[in-house]
Structure 1
Amino acid sequence: MTAVTLDAGAPFGAAPPSARPAIVTRGLTKRFRGGQVAVDALDLSVPRGSVYGFLGPNGSGKTTTIRMLLGLAAPTSGEHELLGLPLGEALPRVGALVEGPAFYPYLSGEANLRRFDAADPTAPPATVRRRVAEALDRVGLTAAAGKRYRTYSLGMRQRLAIAAALLGPRELLILDEPTNGLDPQGTREVRSLVKQIAAGGTTVFVSSHLLAEVEQMCTHAAVMRAGRLVAQGSMASLGGGQVPRVRVRTPDTADALRVLRSLGLADVRADGPEPGDGVSAELGGHAPERVNAALVGEGVAVRGFAVERPSLEDVFVRLTGEGFDVDG
């Protein structure tokens, strides 16, 4: 299937590094022995300052792509660029969490971060205390800094892993399934943290197989299926092929249909045979509040009023003709 690219990126070398996308790939491909193709001619363009969801079922090639981006696996063919720089220059500006956190269970969160920091040859030892404290504060773990890692909840462990990725100034943060295995509370914690990090100017590239998580967290997304890119773009543009609908719950079906048609809404129809089933229509460019005001002004008893926009699941099904597990 041909990928649908809704936001084009600048080619390599076409602009200064600071003006280029945070991540660009051109034809990035990974084949394993036996001919298995894990990633097939991937063309990504990740805008700076975005929270970019890298979405696909387990086994769709997300982790393999991330490993190639970080230099942990060599591509079979193609090229990629981080922050408009060669990989060696870019990596000190990139934080990453790949395939789950690994910490010493009997050391405190603070002591674990000190060990991570000591492994970074570019980190100045004189400022380790300040940087560890800032990273812990940024992820909301200052109060738990002295507690042993084995006492941390799953959400706290993921936050500590993100803190390890933020020990230095980062322009790009790459997170591989950061909410994997978390309970709803832990998932909310990580989602909130990602949004806070992005608000500070860091581009966040986050892979996930959970459609709902990407929809709540991200400004842009790419959809993978069996190693191939299906679509990419802003969340608004990905939903551009389907028109929002307004649904009105009312016993006054005939009058509601008349008002919606008089406003020029398209595909106006009753939602069921009974009077209380309500009506719906394509909203188009009409403001929902004006539609509601017109209904009330014409004496329609509005018991419920909702605007339904296409979900990411709707987009995925439209592009691929199939779905995948949206709950994990």
Structure 2
Amino acid sequence: MVTTGEGAHEAAPPRAAHQTASAGDCAIVARGLTKRFRGGQVAVDDLHLAVPRGSVFGFLGPNGSGKTTTIRMLLGLVQPTSGGCDVLGRPMPAGLAATLPKIGALVEGPAFYPYLSGEANLRRYDAADPAADPRTVSARVGAALERVGLGAAARKRYRAYSLGMRQRLAIAGALLGPRELLVLDEPTNGLDPQGTREVRSLIKDVAADGTTVFVSSHLLTEVEHMCTHVGVMRSGRLVTQGPIAGLRAGHAPRVRVDTPHVAQAAAVLRRLGLAEVRATAEPGEAERVTALLGEHAPERVCALLVTDGVAVRGFTVERPSLEEVFVSLTGEGFDVDA
């Protein structure tokens, strides 16, 4: 069953530099998905997407990049202008009736009655689902609350819930029945660090049970902590997608040498053929040299520095962060903390 903050409903193989999963192995496949609004605004432009089954897929991009519109099209809440998509092996929106009972979704934040308890809210939510069995509602509501860690707060009024508890209750509503796919739009938006950790841990637990989790976020750090795969959106277009490890592997790591012999170390690295050698020896700053490691073995680089008489205080291989990968792909960044 799908939860949205507004409650509004409208009724080629995937392309990617790091695409590895075939359509049959995917929980979500989009082919040329496009949405144009009145006035010519293009919210999503020719999207080719593949979300492997069993993955935690981070759908990453700045606010306004087309993430929520894409989710609405995937769930049949918005009709695409062109293109199509399959969710859990069925075309959407034609397969809505058969597919939606297998999907739990939270789109644009939770919406519950403030004066009802968490348990009472879930009962009302469950009653709106035509596929739900009213004979098992007590067991299912109780199990969902326990799963998200709200069993002890089941009788507490929703208005007294913290933001983290509210997000967990919304996820509990998405998990009232067995789900093959969980779709979460900005699940940590507005949460404090503790609430963020709670939701992150819950997502990992749900994924460990075999559910595919599709997480939309504008927070790079959250995607790095939670996700196995990522798709990067910018201005309505998909920039890249694939396993996070694979995206990083396509970007060379840097080596950092902490040493008082900055000029000598830089000369050694240049002689070895390392690129982008940068030395820092300004007053009040750490004395170090950095360079792209490329295909060089780090242990060999360190050994040659020592052999040439460079006093090595520290030697670090720094893998590119997801932020650095994003900037290299798009030429721009966005707020990674808020």
TM range (shorter): 0.7 to 0.9
- In structure 2, what is the Cα distance between the partners aligned to 1:95 and 1:297? 60
Other structure's SS at 1:198 match: helix
- 2:111 counterpart (83, 98, 102): 102
Q: Name whichever of 82-91 and 165-174 sits farther off.
A: 82-91
- In structure 2, what is the Cα distance between the partners aligned to 1:148 and 1:240? 48
> Cα distance, 1:248 vs. partner?
2.5
How many residue pairs get aligned? The number is 318
Aligned AA (2:33)? L
Question: Does 2:200 correspond to 1:191?
Answer: yes
- 2:274 counterpart (248, 256, 266): 266
Preserved contact between residue 61 and residue 218 of structure 2 (Cα < 8 Å)? yes
- In structure 1, what is the Cα distance between the partners aligned to 2:162 and 2:302? 46
TM-score, reference length from structure 1: 0.86
Contiguous gaps of at least 5 residues in structure 2: 1-14
Deviations 1:20-77 (A, max 9, x none): 3010010111111222211111110001111111111111111111111111111111
Preserved contact between residue 9 and residue 24 of structure 1 (Cα < 8 Å)? no
- In structure 2, what is the Cα distance between the partners aligned to 1:307 and 1:202? 35
Contiguous gaps of at least 5 residues in structure 1: 12-18
> Cα distance, 1:261 vs. partner?
8.1
Preserved contact between residue 186 and residue 218 of structure 2 (Cα < 8 Å)? yes
> Cα distance, 1:327 vs. partner?
2.5
Question: Does 2:69 correspond to 1:64?
Answer: yes
- 1:32 counterpart (34, 37, 52): 37
- In structure 2, what is the Cα distance between the partners aligned to 1:58 and 1:178? 14
- 2:232 counterpart (223, 226, 240): 223
Distance 1:137 1:249, change over 3 A: same
Preserved contact between residue 37 and residue 43 of structure 2 (Cα < 8 Å)? yes
> Cα distance, 1:270 vs. partner?
5.8
Sequence identity (%):
71
> Cα distance, 1:149 vs. partner?
0.7
Preserved contact between residue 18 and residue 246 of structure 2 (Cα < 8 Å)? yes
Other structure's SS at 2:327 match: helix
> Cα distance, 1:255 vs. partner?
7.4
Other structure's SS at 1:187 match: helix
Counterpart mapping for 1:312-327 below 5 A: 312-327=322-337
Structure 2 match to 1:14: none
Deviations 1:154-200 (A, max 9, x none): 01100110110011111110001111111222112111211121111
Structure 2 match to 1:247: 256
Distance 1:185 1:296, change over 3 A: farther
- In structure 2, what is the Cα distance between the partners aligned to 1:54 and 1:93? 20
Counterpart mapping for 1:112-261 below 5 A: 112-253=121-262
Deviations 1:111-159 (A, max 9, x none): 1111111111212222212211211111111111111111110011001
- In structure 1, what is the Cα distance between the partners aligned to 2:217 and 2:133? 34
- In structure 2, what is the Cα distance between the partners aligned to 1:176 and 1:116? 19
Q: Name whichever of 285-294 and 52-61 sits farther off.
A: 285-294
Question: Does 2:9 correspond to 1:7?
Answer: no
- In structure 2, what is the Cα distance between the partners aligned to 1:193 and 1:110? 19
Other structure's SS at 1:89 match: helix
Other structure's SS at 2:31 match: strand
- In structure 2, what is the Cα distance between the partners aligned to 1:105 and 1:289? 60
Distance 1:70 1:291, change over 3 A: same
Distance 1:257 1:59, change over 3 A: closer
Q: Name whichever of 81-90 and 293-302 sits farther off.
A: 293-302
